[in-house]
Amino acid sequence: MTTRVTITSMGAGGDGVANLPDGQVFVPFTLPGEVANIAREKNRGTLMALIEASPERIDPACDHFEACGGCALQHWEADAYQAWKRGLVNDALTGRRLDFVLEPLVPCLPHTRRRAVFAARRSEQGMLFGFNRHQSHEIIDIHECPVTVPAIVGRLGDLRQLATLVATGTKPFKLTVTSTASGLDIAATGCGLPEAGKRRALTAFMLEKGFARLTCEGEIILEPKKPLMHFGKVAVQVPPGGFLQATVEAEETMAALVMSHLARTKRAADLFCGSGAFTFRMAEKMAVHAVESDAAALAALDHAARNTQGLKPITMERRDLFRRPLTMKELNRFDGLVFDPPRAGAEAQAKEIAKSTVAKVAAISCNPVTLARDLAILVEGGYRIDKVVPIDQFLWSSHVEAVALLSKGR
């Protein structure tokens, strides 16, 4: 049985929203103003037939759209899509009654995502290699991806062959593929460790195809070339599957905003620093104290710092900033800082920053809701928000990055 609905708005998750007498229903791949027949299950709807299309609807860029769950919004005209994304940041901050200037959204171009997490499974029809169907564990076999960099998409055939060699039985597993300056860095998880004969086959294949590194369950199987990422002028040997900004362009935009805001800073802190995407750019101009809980990321940062000349002093500290944030007293040593936490935000750390005398703060987040909460804490502590810049780092998804720049004092 189908239900006819009118889509009244776009939900924060990228689904169209229909208001029915018994509540809201979320319908993927629809747009505001559209009339559709849907199959309903509780508050979820499946699009069965589009009766009236929005004038903002466009042809998707990918043959796999609506099957593959990687993109939610390829069917939306760019201006409307970007306005909605900017609105996610605006609504979250307005909900906290903050006083802020919201800059225009920095757009994201196709073919710029430098990492893809592929799903793979051996089946009776052969190796399935692609992405999961929307809200499903079913793997959609793909032949293209307009989001991802050509260095990865152009090697889909080779990656499929590698998955065949890695696979054990019919259990699904993941291949995380990162495009680095040295070649593709591939991390397999959920497949177990290969036995001796398979290792020989994998070694021969890796060398033949020129891949940089293969790890299985965190263990390096082969590393013909050290996978390198350039953070500013510094080449960093990144750990397998370690955190990276999704696109080079977004990282450079964020770094430029941070550096401009901290232009007069002499001593800064980089909290949740990862492998040093901001640390090394900052260290060209100022002394930096880099803090991170992930040992592998911090080891990569340390190795690069020790092997690079011409930087200001960099000190490092391994520390869980969720459980043990830098205290007000520790923070008062700095006149600037940047923090870029996971989606959960940095509530405990923000409370300490709010009490500090740090003059310039750059807050970076991929979650407008937790960013708004943390900014509210800082404002309550005497900071003012100079500006907020939304960045579409995650093309055609419901996720949006934002950089907030704050000051305290005269």
* Numbered residues of the known binding site: 245, 272, 292, 340
| Dist CA 212 CA 227 (whole Å) | 6
Cβ atoms 353, 71 nearer than 8 A: no
| Dist CA 290 CA 269 (whole Å) | 6
**C-alpha closest to that of 142 among 116, 108, 167, 113:** 116
Query: What stretch of H or E contains 314?
Result: strand 314-318
| Dist CA 174 CA 153 (whole Å) | 16
Cβ atoms 274, 292 nearer than 8 A: yes
Active-site residues, by number, are: 366
Query: How many CB atoms are closer than 10 A to CB 164?
Result: 14
| Dist CA 221 CA 166 (whole Å) | 11
Query: What stretch of H or E contains 219?
Result: strand 219-222
Binding residues for S-adenosyl-L-methionine: 245, 272, 292, 340
Pairing of strands 183-189, 213-216: parallel
> Going by C-beta distance under 8 Å and a sequence separation of 6 or more, which residues neighbour residue 134?
28, 66, 67, 68, 69, 72
CA distances from 80 to 19, 140, 277, 394 (A): 21, 28, 31, 16
| Dist CA 86 CA 302 (whole Å) | 36
Cα 292 to chain center, whole Å? 17
Reported residue count of the chain is: 410
